[in-house]
Structure 1
Amino acid sequence: MKRMIALALAACLVFALSACGAKKEEAQAPASNGASQATSAAAGQEVKIVASNYQFDQAEYKVKKGENITVTLENKQGMHGVQIKEFNVSLDGSKKSATFKADKEGTYDIVCSVPCGSGHMSMKSKLIVES
Structure 2
Amino acid sequence: MYPCGSTANQYQHLINHSDKWKYMGYYRELLNNSNLEVGDILIVGKKGNVSGHTVLYVGNELIRRKYPEQTNSYFVSSSIKSEKKPSRSPGCGDTTGSYVKDRNYEVFRYIGSYDGNRKNYSP
TM bucket (normalised to shorter chain) is under 0.3
TM-score (norm 2): 0.25
TM-score (norm 1): 0.24
Q: Taking CA–CA contacts closer than 8 Å with sequence separation of 6 or more, which of the two structures ends up with the larger relative contact order?
A: 2
As a proportion of its length, which structure holds more strand?
1
